Amino acid sequence: MTVLRETGWAKINLALHIRARRPDGYHEIETLFAFVDAGDALAVEVADADRLILDGEFAEGLSDGADNLVRRVLALIRERYGAERVPPLAIRLTKRLPVAAGIGGGSADAAAMARLLRRHFLPEIGDAPLARLVAPLGADIAACVASATCLGTGVGEQLSAAPELALSGTPVLLVNPRQPVATGPVFAAWDGVDRGPLFTGADLRAQLFASRNDLQRPAIAQCPAIVDMLTELGALKPWLARMSGSGATCFALFDAPAGRDAAAARLVASHPHWWQLAGALR
């Protein structure tokens, strides 16, 4: 039987500026999304009934029920396009990315499921309609559908291309202390100060150096290990090191794979309990 495969690419926020708290409790943001060439794995087969199996290092404690985002995407697409278009499926989701980690997680998995269903059962759906369909399931799911570097505004669902950010192939190292950080409390703890918009300019590195992650301070209050990770990464000579999303994962960008790999080896020796992912930006 044919196995259909897709990857939930890890997401990072190169920058994340919080501009305002909205009356509905959400936040107006400006963020630069980028994606790593590795992540969670989906393996899907046509079956006699729907089922979801979770495995992998970070599967423990996750729901395999109707509230799982992969299953919610399946239900949403069947509701929109008809159950006769998408047969019953046996789904295996291998969780390689830590959860509550600021790198997409469930959103990346949901987007991967949407892409897989489109590719194999509903090829007429364009990129934009697919992103609009699944966007209500999470603020960053639309960005994860494309899994390409872009600018996100609104609550992160309004996307525009960022061709000046020619980052594809950039070596990247992700590090997480294996401590989950809840997104809601981190956003709620933002101090309400608008520190200005994303800097835009011709010089990529100047643009990124002038940006920031406004959730870093409240995330550190919840997970002090973020300071240790940023300190360690900064000492390994990347050209940029920052926390992603609402934490606790931090990333470092390097000029060459050798620099990334040497940094990864140093961290394995000094902090063997930290989770790592070495890859390149898509």
Active site residue 11: yes
Contacts of 100 (CB under 8 A, 6+ apart): 180, 181, 182, 183
Contacts of 208 (CB under 8 A, 6+ apart): 14, 15, 32, 240
**What is the Cα–Cα distance from 180 to 100, expressed in whole angstroms?**
5
User: And the tokens for 256?
Assistant: 């060459």
Burial annotation 79-89 (CB, 10 A radius, 16+ → b, else e): eebeeeebeeb
Active site residue 140: yes
User: From the candidates 11, 40, 95, 109, which is the catalytic residue?
Assistant: 11
Nearest to 216 by CA among 194, 182, 243: 243
User: From the candidates 40, 109, 140, 214, which is the catalytic residue?
Assistant: 140
Nearest to 237 by CA among 221, 255, 220, 257: 255
Give me the residues paired with residue 154 across strands.
Answer: none
**What is the Cα–Cα distance from 107 to 143, expressed in whole angstroms?**
9
- Which of the residues are catalytic? 11, 140
